[in-house]
Structures are given as C-alpha cells and as structure tokens.
Amino acid sequence: MSNGPFADFQNEVYLKGLLGEQPTLPFGWREVEAAAYEVMTPGAIGYVAGGAGGEDTMAANRAAFDRWRLVPRMLRGIPSHRSHETTLLGTTMPAPVLLAPVGVLSIVHPDAEGAVARAAAALGLTMVASTASSTPMEEVAASAPGGSRWYQLYWPSDLELAASFVHRAEAAGYEALVVTLDTWQLGWRPRDLSRAYLPFLQAEGVANYFSDPVFQRGLPEGDQLAAVQKFVGLFNNPTLTWADLAWLREQTSLPIVLKGLQHPDDVRRAQDAGVEAVICSNHGGRQVDGAVASLDALPGLVEVAGDLPVLFDSGIRTGADACKALALGAAAVLLGRPYVHGLALAGEAGVHHVLRCLLADLDLQTGLSGHASVSELSRESLVHVGR
C-alpha cells in the first residue's frame, strides 16, 4: 500500500485501467460475497453465511444501518490527505478498524489465518486471532512478525487449559485478550444442521487445542478421534460468571476486552470488573435469533461506558457502515465476513483487496460528509430516519 491517503486506492485502480490493466476482483461487498460463494464448498458457505434460527438477527444488523443516514456538510476546508490514526489499548492503528476473530478459516482457503495475518500486517491493521483457528496461534504470529494482533479467547471449561491459551498468546506477542462471552454454547444454526456439518468434528479449527501441552496431556498419541471428543467435552463453559474475570486478570497483564455485550447493565458490570474495553456484538447474528441489532444497542452501551472504550461489530460491510458506528460512539469497528469472502476468492491478495476497499470507502465517506478525520464523526453527523 502507498503512503498516501486510503482514498488513493481508487486513483490507483483508474490509472491501471488507463494503462490497460483491468481489475480481477470485484469492489462491491455483495459482489465479493457472491463470487466467494461460487468457489466455496456448500458446507463452508453454510458455516460462513449462516446465522441462528431464522437469521432474523443477521437481517436486523443490516437493517439497523439503514435507519441512520449521514448528513453531509459543505465548505469545511477538508484536506485531501486525511489521517484516521488512532491508539486503542496501547495499539496504534492507521484507522479504527480491526479484523474480527473468525475461526476455521481452512475451510475457506488453505492459507487460512496466515494469509489474513499477512494482509492485515501489510496495511498496519490489527487482526484478532480466534481460539478456533485452523493454525496454532504461534504460527499465526510468525506468519506476520511485524503485525499487530490481539487474541480472542473461547474460555474452556478446563481452567488450566484456559490459562495455557492466555500464557501462549502473551508469549507470542499478542497485545490484548478478547474474551467472547456469547458462545458458551453454539446457537441453533439450520444451515449447518441441514448438512450435519460442524467442522470441529472433522478436526478443523482446533489447532490451538491440538497444539497445546495441557490439552494433549493424557491423550493417546495420534488419536484424532479421542482429541476431537476431548475438545467437544471442554469447549463449552456455561458456568462462567462475572466473578470469574478476577481469575482471568490474575493470569495475564494483557488488556482484557469483553466481546458480546448488548445491554448497558453488562457494560456497568464490565466496568466494575476493571476490564479495558468491551465490544458491542451479537456474534454476527450467529447465536441468538431475534436479538437486538448491534447498532441499535450501541448508543445505550456508549452512554453508560464513560471512559471505557466500546468497540463494535456485527454487520459492518462498507465505509458508510463504519462511519455510522463511529459516529454513534464506537471507538473502533471490527470487520468479519467480508474479509473471509476475500480470502475465499484470492487468499492473502483477496483479503488485502477487501481491506483496501473498506479503508478507501471509509476515508472517502468521512471526507465527503464534511469531516477531516473519523475522530470528528459524532451523533451530529447522522439523522435517524425511523423504524
């Protein structure tokens, strides 16, 4: 990527066209998604595209963005070279955009998490690596040594294993710990059920478990079935309570981020627990069908959060989406499914393309709506257009 503004990406594309070079990848998120599903297996499509139940929460996530509209302001002396740099939990970012944790990426492309890590690092973006990775966390880190990365924890029922995951992440240079709270049990997912497809049972997305010395203890060497059965027995941890966060704090000096919050009272509990940030998220509609859209929940969380940063995911597809979430108080946004679609299409290059598209769109939307930086976005930048 050039050192110029993100928006220069479009000039680069047009200049190449002038020289006879036509794009090989689509630019609209819907077109990228459709192209990705042309090359993915039916099982992978169901797993990536699907949501809980009737997928009403997925639809609500997108519909919520339509109820907010940017109100462009004119003649405000906006510079053509805009900086969106921000620092969050000690991590400096070129824009308040992170890559959301998505597991089991090997079902989409053989280069899996390594390709994503390299693409993110090339743009200076922070990747949140999933516990359910197809690649051990140390290998993900080694694939992009200079990259910024946070580690997402699915908190297993075995506390010794949980501690091992956290210690491994810290040793591998991960800069924050993102604890997903809303997936202590898998939601009802008809697309996966219709194919009886759960990749973990095929030993996909379990690399962090299979590479862990605590997990391997007592397992017969080379017995994949026994390892999968052990994974199934300890992945879920429904007994967790707010009090358990004190134990987690004892395990690490990393900033702790809680992902999956939708209710203001849970933000208050997070504040009481002394965590460093929270993520307003409904897991992209994959857990609770009929749940509140994340964007609808965001203002209430921000209102009570005070100085506690509230990040946002679930439904981000465009630069305009990111602008709206940032204007409603999000400290940063996380992009999920779109980069997975890019990975399916063209591996690392596909992820890089999708990320450049989002950053260019975000830069242009910010400037064209009358803001010199995303830091200027506020509730005054928007109008609510009804239900």
Q: Does residue 160 lie within any of the structural domains? A: yes
Does 283 participate in catalysis according to the annotation?
Answer: yes
Query: Residue 209 domain-assigned?
Result: no
- What is the CATH number for 93? 3.20.20.70
Contact 362, 82 (CB under 8 A): no
Helix or strand or coil: residue 334?
strand
Output phi, psi for 135, to 5 deg.
-130, 135
Phi and psi at residue 168, to the nearest 5°: -65, -45
Contact 104, 80 (CB under 8 A): no
Closest CA to 112 of 340, 375, 287: 340
Domain coverage including residue 161: 30-72+85-199+235-372
Calpha distance 37→47 (Å, rounded): 11
Sign of the four-CA dihedral 374, 379, 380, 385? positive
Question: Are 84 and 331 in contact, with CB atoms under 8 Å apart?
Answer: no
Which one-letter amino acid corresponds to residue 330? A
State how far the Cα of 357 lies from the Cα of 28, in Å rounded to an integer: 8
Query: Does residue 134 fall inside a structural domain?
Result: yes
Given the residues 81, 167, 263, 283, the one annotated as active site:
283
With respect to residue 80, please indicate whether it lies within any of the assigned structural domains.
no
Instruction: State the pairing for strand pair 126-129/68-70.
Output: unpaired
Could you give the number of structural domains in the chain?
A: 1
Q: Which two tokens stand for residue 138?
A: 């140390």
Domain assignment present for residue 385? The answer is no
Q: Is residue 77 part of a domain?
A: no
pLDDT tens-place values along the chain, 387 residues long? 445 699 999 999 999 999 999 999 999 999 999 999 999 999 999 999 999 999 999 999 999 999 999 999 999 999 999 999 999 999 999 999 999 999 999 999 999 999 999 999 999 999 999 999 999 999 999 999 999 999 999 999 999 999 999 999 999 999 999 999 999 999 999 999 999 999 999 999 999 999 999 999 999 999 999 999 999 999 989 999 999 999 999 999 999 999 999 999 999 999 999 999 999 999 999 999 999 999 999 999 999 999 999 999 999 999 999 999 999 999 999 999 999 999 999 999 999 999 999 999 999 999 999 999 999 999 999 999 987
Domain annotation covers residue 13? no
**Is residue 204 a part of any domain in this protein?**
no
